[in-house]
Amino acid sequence: MVNHNLIEALALEAGIADKMLREAYGQTELNLEEILGAEVASLGTGNIVKGRVVGISGDFVIVDIRGKSEGQVQKEEFEESGGVTIGDEVEVLVEETETPDGSIMLSKRKADRIRGWEQVLVSRKEGDIVEGKVLRKIKGGLLVDIGVPVFLPASQVDVRRPGDIGEFIGKTVRSMILKIDLERRNIVISRRKLIEDEREDSKRKLMDKVNEGDIVRGTVTNIADFGAFVDLGGLDGLLHITDMSWGRVNHPTEILKIGDEIEVKILNIDREREKIALGMKQKEVSPWEEIEKKYPVNSRLKGTVVSLMSYGAFVRLEEGIEGLVHVSEMSWTRRVNHPSEVVNVNDEIDIVILEIDKQKLEISLGMKQTEVNPWELVAEKYPNGTIIEGKIRNLANYGAFVEIEPGIDGLLHVSDISWTKKVAHPNEIYKKGDSVKCVVLDVDRDKQRVGLGTKQLSEDPWVEAIPSAYRPGMIVKGTITKITNFGVFVELEEGLEGLLHISELSDQKVENPLDVVKPGQEVDVKILRVDISDRKIGLSLKRAQWGAGIDPDMRADIAADAAALRDRPTRGGMDDHGALGTDKISF
């Protein structure tokens, strides 16, 4: 008979419980051969058995598993778990029972994984939190050891996908089990999901305890052109660039960097949209608090140019206090297109406080107000009627700008160039740089304008000279100067033109005036009308060709005009009939 103690010992060494043996064989006493037969059966390929390390030979660890021969395990499999010592008891997986040299091939790594998988199945479920070391980078993500290797997809590594997930290799990470696939023995975990859930919980706690006006600490997590995002512990708040400092901040990176721990004040909480506005400068007293007392309107002081924009220059009066000098406030006389024409960054300049808007935190400044306004003196120096001489500085469609003195220009409008000639553009008469004599017509100090005229240097011939020299019914000589589709302009004398309408060219219907007259041609024309109010003279070629006598159709008009001339009061230089004493009029 076999000793029962020996049976129990052999059964335990082989990993088979005494109860299982008895149930398997249906008897209470077993002989040695039967027990050994059962032991050999347990050493079949794919089974996990217990053994004891009995030696190390080359690249193999020798393990006694109570079989016909000892088993071998690759030494590197023990090195993965911290090494091996003779006498250690281990669990191994039987890979081969009969190698060519008669040994048994075992695997500790595979046995550990199977035991780990069994342990996970027993102790873990989807949604559980696990912790493990990142082993290596694999296709699509990371391999993490939580007792068994599990898959952490790249998209689940962090809330914001890192540039290189390889930076997590060797680190211990906490994650949530997303999926357990029993059939494929595969587990997928997510670090991102765990972070999001924890942040959501922290967010709820944060929103419950914070209030507007609270001073809190946070970590800068991201920086944009418009501001910085600060993690307050579960929720990011926005620190806008305008709330970072009372002074000028061109970009948030001038003050902050990612990872900085900062103290901020909660300015606004939108609990419905879960948004928090933060401020740094609000922790300090605003320098704008008593701005009107420190910088009264019209006070003069110095400032430093800190920034130039197309519309003006920003000037720092003190740290946190800046004002704007608009381009229109830089010079009384000079047209400033860009502030760089007058000032540069870091220049120290004299300025005057023009206006303060405390609500908008804006100060309007002026540079020209530090000097005497030359326009204050223009009206005194150049009263209406003053004759001046200056150079034409610029030409526009509507007139010429004449420099009266440095910085003071007057406008010679096209309508004030000649009494008799219709000037469409000043370049018909002048060019830039020409010297011209003018009369000051009007000075508008507020709009900084001076109106000039050249025709006013002489008497208006339309008042007396032209009506006297050119009367309806007269036949006069003239030269064709311009031909249009509606008629012909005829120069009667220098600077004086009349209009010969197309209907007055011929007794026949004229389609094109060029069929009758040519530019430069001298013609005899009859005066039909002299319109003093509109300053126009109407002419007729066909009526002049009817004969030297007066056309009967015109007798009534001539009689009426003659009566009007007789009744007109006489003026110096004219006879009792309103005729000038000379035959030629000069303009």
Distance CA 488, CA 139 (A): 91
Of residues 297 and 206, more confidently modeled: 297
- Taking residues 470-489, report their average pLDDT: 90
End-to-end CA distance of the chain: 157
Query: What does the pLDDT read at residue 22?
Result: 38
Domains of the chain: 4-113 (2.40.50.140), 124-195 (2.40.50.140), 210-283 (2.40.50.140), 291-370 (2.40.50.140), 375-457 (2.40.50.140), 465-567 (2.40.50.140)
Identify which has the larger pLDDT, 239 or 406: 239
**CA–CA gap between residue 502 and residue 489 (Å, rounded):** 10
Looking at the predicted structure, is the pLDDT value of residue 193 above 70? yes
Tell whether the model's pLDDT for residue 299 goes beyond 90: yes
- At 555, is the pLDDT very low, low, confident or very high (cuts 50, 70, 90)? very low
* Residues facing residue 177 across a β-bridge: 189
CA dihedral sign of residues 159, 161, 167, 169: positive
Average pLDDT over residues 284-302: 88
d(CA 271, CA 226): 22
At residue 555, the 3 state secondary structure works out as: helix
Query: Which residues have CB under 8 Å from 568's CB, separation 6+?
Result: 578
Task: Report how far apart, in Å, the C-alpha atoms of 12 and of each of 2, 46, 94, 255 are.
Answer: 16, 19, 17, 70
Residues 485-499: what's their mean pLDDT? Answer: 88
Gap between the Cα atoms of 75 and 86, Å rounded = 12
* Reported pTM: 0.43
User: What pLDDT digit, counting tens, does each position of 512-549 carry?
Assistant: 999 889 999 999 999 999 888 888 899 999 898 886 44
Distances (CA, A) of 186 to 152, 166, 175, 180, 430: 11, 22, 15, 6, 93
Banded pLDDT at 583 (limits 50, 70, 90): very low
pLDDT surpasses 80 at 213? yes
What pLDDT was estimated at residue 66?
Answer: 80
Asked if 486 and 502 count as a contact pair (C-beta separation under 8 A), the reply is yes
117's enclosing H/E stretch is helix 108-123
Span 33-38, mean pLDDT? Answer: 40
Place of tokens 């209470």: 28
Query: How far apart are the C-alpha atoms of 542 and 523, rounded to whole Å?
Result: 11
Number of H helices, E strands in the chain: 11, 30
d(CA 162, CA 173): 15
Q: Which residue type sits at 163? A: G
d(C-alpha 490, C-alpha 505), whole Å: 12
Alpha helices (runs of H) in 174-311, residue ranges in sequence order: 191-209, 291-294
Q: Long-range contacts of range 136-139, CB-CB < 8 Å, 24 or more positions apart? A: 136/169, 137/165, 137/166, 137/169
CA angle at 338 for the pair 334 and 340, rounded to the nearest 5° = 100
Of all residues in the chain, what percent carry a pLDDT higher than 70? 85
**Contact predicate 95/105, CB 8 Å:** yes
Which positions ≥6 away from 58 have C-beta within 8 Å? Answer: 75
Q: What is the mean pLDDT of residues 311-337?
A: 90
What would the pLDDT profile of 399-417 be if each residue is shown by its tens digit? 999 998 887 889 999 988 9
| The two three-digit tokens of residue 32, written as one number | 């040695």
Q: In whole angstroms, what is the distance from residue 493 CA to residue 497 CA?
A: 7
Contact at 8 Å (CB) between 237 and 212? no
Question: pLDDT tens digit string along 9-24?
Answer: 323 333 333 333 333 3
CA 112 – CA 119 distance, rounded (Å): 10
Ranges 121-130, 393-402, 577-586: which has the least confidence: 577-586
